Structure 1
Amino acid sequence: MAGESDWQHALLRELGQAAPSRPDLNRPGDAGQALDPARPPTTSAERQAPYAPAPRQDHNARLPGPVPQSVPTMDPRLAIALGGPRHGDSIPRRAGAGLRRLTAPAGQEAAEQTRLAQEVQQPVTTGRVIAVTAIRGGVGKSTVSALLGRTFNHYRHDPVLALDADAALGTLPVRMGAQAVRWTCADLAQILTPAMQLTDVTGYLVPVADGGWLLPAGQGRVGAPLDVRTYRTVTLALRRYFGVTVVDCESLPGEVARTAMDTAHVRVVVAPMTAEGVHGTRQVLDWLAQLPHSVLTTTVVVLSAASPDASLDVQVATAHLRRPGVAVIVLPYDRHLAQGGPIHTAQLSRSARDAALQLAAEVMGRAVTVR
């Protein structure tokens, strides 16, 4: 196990600081700190300090064309209209959940959270790519990508990248809380070289407020979508710098989405909690089963509820989607997620945080088994 983590320590040594020690999940203090996504880890400052952009060369000199300018991810007027973030649960639901926790068997919930945290923290020998897609837009694909990116960054000690591989109007930068974007996938495809170090690469990325990095597909303008060649160039080059890369793909059957699904270590398919959404997602699973190399054992379906009044029978839907080897995770309705805009972990409902951790553990458990 120690040999597997040498790759992560080598990356951090480039920045002049060894990787911080993992929390001791057997000690109550460390376990509580590691398991509460709403609270930053005690080593938050230490974790973010080595990842601060410190370019060793002039970035502008690398780009053959004009240097891009920073562009806001959201019109300030819309940000005002969005208002303050709502909590994922109403006050009565929060009060009821608190009472249930008081009456639950002592230690049972903590033990399960500890187990899931250990799954998420598994070391990897090479960077793992997780592709997230759906049968159509607007079903929560970028939301799930952002939740995965934030969860991995909270629990893991190696660099985590959220990569937007959607068309130019993707919403991942907004969901990740980025105020502005500048360098895009197409820009990096022209710049990346094998000699670049992590500190060089991060100078082109957007640092996420609670840690981790973001690379947008575009600057929010209608234009040519990301092409397959650019996607392959960027993902193959960045895998050696980041322990986990979460890719927010375009919707199927887009060419980049099909390429990402075929080449990723793990595939996450987001299905809306509707009859037609479940039916279409089952067709995607049937297609994945027919690929030259079976990928169902590295596929996870997220059944996402966009309304508190969803009437679809969850058990029937889950059974319809559960092909051999496929895991199904239910992401319940959350008022904070439904509001749109940046995701604030502290505002998520307890059930949404638990689902995000369960999803991250399921994904990482499958990712580490892939060579």
Structure 2
Amino acid sequence: MTAPSDWQRDLMREVGAAEAGEERPRPATPPAPARTPDPARPAAAPAPARTPDPAAPTRPRTPAPAPGRDLAPRTPGEVQRPASAPEAAPVADPRLLLALGSPRHGDPLARRAGAGLRRLAAPAAKEAGDAARLAEAVQQPVTTGRVLAVTSLRGGAGKSTVAALLTRTYAHYRHDPVLGLEADAALGTLPLRLGARTVRWTVGDLADVLTPETRLTDVTGYLVRLEEGGWLLPASRGQVGNPLAGRTYYSVALALRRHFGVTVVDCDSLPGQVARTALGTAHARVLVAPATAEGVHGTRQVLDWLLGLLPAARENTVVVLNATSPDATLDPATARAHLGEPGVPVVLLPYDRHLGQGGPVHTDHLGEAARGTALRLAAEALGRAVRTR
């Protein structure tokens, strides 16, 4: 088998031979016969001999382009756009969105009114101080873009809901760009949860477009701008797409993270290829477990498997115990203790009527407990991601 660099060696040999043929040394010109000086004409001063200056720069020669490469020079940072843009596709059938009705508040009216009266009567200084510290932790500066991977053992655990909550929270509190990246091309619902109406470009489309020199102003032309702040890159155009390869995901995530302070990745379920790639390359990991006996048991098995492969993952992994039903009977304290035995923090996301309704997540409709949990989870995950080198 020929080595991969043989064609380059042969090409340079041909280029060298061509240059040698074009600039063959010319034969020396024979000296002219000496003239007899005319005594009536004064002798002219001899011209000084021209000696080559060794310090003079040699003009570089442009090497011939490699076969199959574009001969036209590219401007640094230029984006190579595809020949035609894909058609925009709706995230969901508009009839389903109409059938969803108006978004519900996470807390009932009586609870919201009671909470407002309590704040007016006696402001909770401790709660306000805790919220301020959490907000400061979410706003902490980052030297390079941090990537947070969100996944679960199976579909329906609420990983897209958690990814949407994190994206909303970071976009609300941070001043640098925030990206929600969907890496589940089969049944991903992150665009719907983030309120996108149509999608056009996908992760797979950008794999052949992005380069390390691409500017942010070029990148945002391929993304969906979210109404509540932040950006979105979907994995499909509202349909079940081809499985996303781990190499494709990694190349796109690596090229995009330099433009965004925080990137929240909604992965496919474990043990999918993209989920394994994302967990191995992210700065922090968020495992979502449904608040059921089988969900907690399976997530604990996955957690033990992950920590066995990557012992350092204990320092940057957070588990979310997601209550998806108001009628759950599993004791949350017992479930948190079981999941936290390996030494990772466990955050309980209580049931929220707004999240349980489905559809777009609106931060102003979240219940007080869910809003506080989202802020605490965002601070916990980002703090661990910042400590990761």
User: 1:255: which partner in 2?
Assistant: 273
State the Cα deviation string for residues 104-137 of structure 1 (Å, max 9, x = none): 6641111000100111011111110000001111
Structure 2 residue 337 is the aligned partner of structure 1 residue 319: yes
Match of 1:86 in 2: 104
Q: Where does residue 307 of structure 1 map in the other structure? A: 325
Secondary structure at 2:387's aligned position in 1? coil
Aligned residues: 314
Q: Structure 1 residues 57, 196: closer, same or farther in 2, change over 3 A? A: closer
Secondary structure of 2:271's match? coil
Q: Structure 1 residue aligned with 2:308, among 286, 290, 300?
A: 290
The question of whether the paired residues in 2 share the 8 Å contact of 1:74 and 1:174 is answered with yes
Q: State the distance in 2 between where 1:241 and 1:72 align.
A: 27
In the alignment, what sits opposite 1:21? none
Does the CA contact (< 8 Å) of 1:168 and 1:219 recur in 2? no
Q: Deviations over 1:1-56 (max 9, x none)?
A: xxxxxxxxxxxxxxxxxxxxxxxxxxxxxxxxxxxxxxxxxxxxxxxxxxxxxxx9
Q: CA 1:293 to 1:321, structure 2 compared with 1: closer, same or farther past 3 Å?
A: closer
Number of the residue aligned with 2:223: 205
1:280 counterpart residue number: 298
The equivalent of 2:68 in structure 1 is: none
In structure 2, the residue matched to 1:266 is 284
| 1: CA distance, partners of 2:278 / 2:227 | 27
In the alignment, structure 1 residue 127 sits paired with structure 2 residue 140: no
1:103 shift after superposition: 6.2
Q: Distance in 2 between matches of 1:193 and 1:105?
A: 51
Specify the SS of the correspondent of 1:131: strand
Contact 1:169 1:220 in 2 (8 A): no
1:224-265 per-residue CA deviation (whole Å, 9 max, x = no partner) reads 111111101101111111110000000011111011111111
Please give the alpha-carbon distance, in whole angstroms, between the structure 1 residues aligned to 2:147 and 2:124.
37
* Map of 2:186 onto structure 1: 168
Q: 2:240 aligns with which of 222, 229, 238?
A: 222
* Aligned equivalent of 2:130: 112
Which residue number corresponds to residue 53 of structure 1?
none
- Cα drift, residue 169 of structure 1: 2.9
1:236 aligns with 2:246: no
Letter in 1 for 2:251: T
Q: How do 1:70-81 and structure 2 match up within 5 A?
A: 70-81=88-99
Any idea what the Cα deviations from partners look like across 1:181-201, whole Å, max 9, x if unmatched? 000001100100222110000
2:320 and 2:348 in contact (8 A); partners too: yes
CA drift at 1:359: 0.3
Equivalent pair of 1:132/1:248 in contact (CA under 8 Å): yes
Partner amino acid, structure 2, of 1:170: G
Contact 1:132–1:267, Cα closer than 8 Å, also in 2: yes
Of 133, 154, 157, 1:136 maps to 154
- 1:145 corresponds in structure 2 to 163
Matched, 1:62 2:77: no
Q: CA deviation at 1:323?
A: 3.1
Please give the secondary structure, in 2, of the residue aligned with 1:230: helix
Once the two structures are overlaid, the 10-residue window that deviates more, 360-369 or 104-113, is: 104-113
Give the superposition deviation at 1:289: 1.0
**What CA distance in whole angstroms lies between the structure 2 residues aligned with 1:284 and 1:101?**
42
What amino acid does structure 1 have at the position aligned with 2:81?
R
Counterpart for residue 36 of structure 1: none
Task: Determine helix, strand or coil for the equivalent of 2:103.
Answer: coil
Distance 2:121 2:327 in 1: 28
Counterparts of 2:152 and 2:203, CA distance in 1: 21
CA distance, structure 2, for counterparts of residue 316 and residue 110 of structure 1 = 29
Using the TM superposition, give the Cα deviation of residue 221 of structure 1 relative to its aligned residue in structure 2, in angstroms. 1.6
Q: Check the 8 A contact 1:161/1:213 in 2, yes or no.
A: yes
Return the TM-score normalized by structure 1: 0.81
Structure 1: gaps spanning 5 or more residues: 1-55
Residues in 2 aligned to 1:279 and 1:143: alpha-carbon distance in whole angstroms:
21
Does the aligned pair in 2 maintain the 1:288–1:294 contact within 8 Å? Answer: no
How far does the alpha carbon of each residue in 1:123-173 deviate from its partner, in whole angstroms, 9 at most, with x for none? 111110000001111111100000000100111111100000012331000
Alpha-carbon shift at residue 101 of structure 1 (Å): 4.0
Q: Distance in 1 between matches of 2:160 and 2:111?
A: 26
1:325 Cα deviation after fit: 3.5
TM-score of the superposed pair, with normalisation by structure 2: 0.78
- Compute the displacement of 1:72 (Å): 0.6
Specify the alignment match of 1:24 in structure 2: none
Aligned residue identity for 2:324 = A
The whole-number CA distance in structure 2 between the counterparts of 1:331 and 1:103 is 28
Q: How much has 1:324 moved relative to structure 2?
A: 4.0
Q: What SS class does the counterpart of residue 295 from structure 1 fall into? A: helix
Deviation at 1:67, TM superposition (A): 2.3
> SS of 1:368's equivalent?
helix
